[in-house]
Amino acid sequence: MFENKERTELSSLGEFGLIDKIKEEFPLMNPSSMVGIGDDGAVLDPGGKYLVLSTDLLLESIHFDLTYMPLKHLGYKSTIVNLSDIIAMNTIPEQITVSIGISNRFSLEAIEEFYKGIKLACDKYKIDLIGGDTSTSEKGMVISITSMGYGSKDEIIYRSGAKLNDLICVSGDLGAAYLGLQLLEREKKIFLENPEIQPDFENKDYLIERQLKPEARKDIIEILRKEKIKPNSMIDISDGLSSEILHITKASNMGCKIYEEKLPIDSLTAQTAMEFNLDPTVCALNGGEDYELLFTVGIEYFEQLKMIPEISIIGHICPKEEGCSLISRANNQYELKAQGWKNFSN
């Protein structure tokens, strides 16, 4: 169709390159559009509370693999992943829409399993399913989820708010979901070679669960509110810590220092990384799919934050000129690079 024109491969641009191009072409016009493309969610002003909206498109074989992802888990995880974006704006999600495209290899019972997973997430996070679309697909399953949350103008936290000397904090622990995926991929390979062999996940439940049934950290938002700690910037970790802190520093026009020894890594994650000949730090930095919250707060909250077991202080914001670096245990400095999963690279 475009034979006569030059052809630019999408892979040469990358997902963020494409998004930047789109953003440029679509300046906002309506007074109700507060914030558009470029954060975890868009922000709308209908006159009362602000509405935060986020949307994800998930495709079989690209984002999920039904050979080891039961449909119920898929429904749960798809919902959680999207709610996590709303939470990462410091707002409480209240609604989702779910659209699916399914081929005739799926029975009604299979689709019910999928919706059972969504229902479980909706009940746990008090979310209403308010709409969607269902459609046949030629091949493969397609899921599109949009979620909405509400917050006052002052409550909403953007990626762009990080201030000089802010503490960089992260909830929970990192890298486990990535290792869960490695385990599942390994067992899939063994299974394909010899279907008689049953999967061996002994003692690895935590990693498998982090991959198949992650949670969105609504509890962290609630803890911070209770403690009256107001972060200056926030994002959720979907593509890996490195990628996300670079989003914050870029949007805030700052640099950062992250300390390897401060990275929260579960001992099972560390041990399993070794088994796979992987560096646990690399898993924590680039693994992705942890859906933990990454945020920056003023140093005046240092003492208070230290007392919250679910939150780790892993570094601080520095001037842009100093760049974004990881300080290793041996006190060497490495430039942080986003090596998370790239959309158009394969």
**Per-residue contact track with its own copies, 123 to 152, x per CB under 8 A?**
---xxxxxxxxxxxxxxx-x-x-x-x-x--
| Nearest-angstrom CA–CA distance, 142 and 249 | 33
Residues 194-233 that bind its own copies (CB under 8 A): none
**C-beta of 15 vs 209, nearer to its own copies:** 15
Residues 63-92 that bind its own copies (CB under 8 A): 63, 66, 70-71
When asked if residue 305 is in the footprint of its own copies (CB under 8 A), the reply is no
**C-beta of 127 vs 162, nearer to its own copies:** 127
The 3-state secondary structure of 232-256 reads CEEEECCCCHHHHHHHHHHHHCCEE
CB-based contact 2:15 (threshold 8 Å): no
Q: Could you tell me the smallest distance in angstroms from the CB atom of residue 253 to its own copies?
A: 22
Which of the ranges 97-105, 240-248, 278-286, 295-303 carries the binding residues for its own copies, by CB under 8 A?
97-105
Q: Could you tell me the smallest distance in angstroms from the CB atom of residue 109 to its own copies?
A: 5
Enumerate long-range contacts of 14-18, CB under 8 Å, 24 or more apart: 14/342, 14/343, 14/344, 14/345, 15/342, 15/343, 15/344, 18/344
**Terminal Cα-to-Cα distance of the chain (whole angstroms):** 23
Q: Which of 287, 100, 86, 255 is nearest to 182 (CA)?
A: 287
Residues 107-126 that bind its own copies (CB under 8 A): 107-113, 115, 119, 122, 126
Residues 22-61 that bind its own copies (CB under 8 A): 22, 25-26, 28-30, 32-33, 35-37, 41-42, 44-51, 53-61
Q: Could you tell me the smallest distance in angstroms from the CB atom of residue 308 to its own copies?
A: 28
Residue 180 token pair: 């869960």
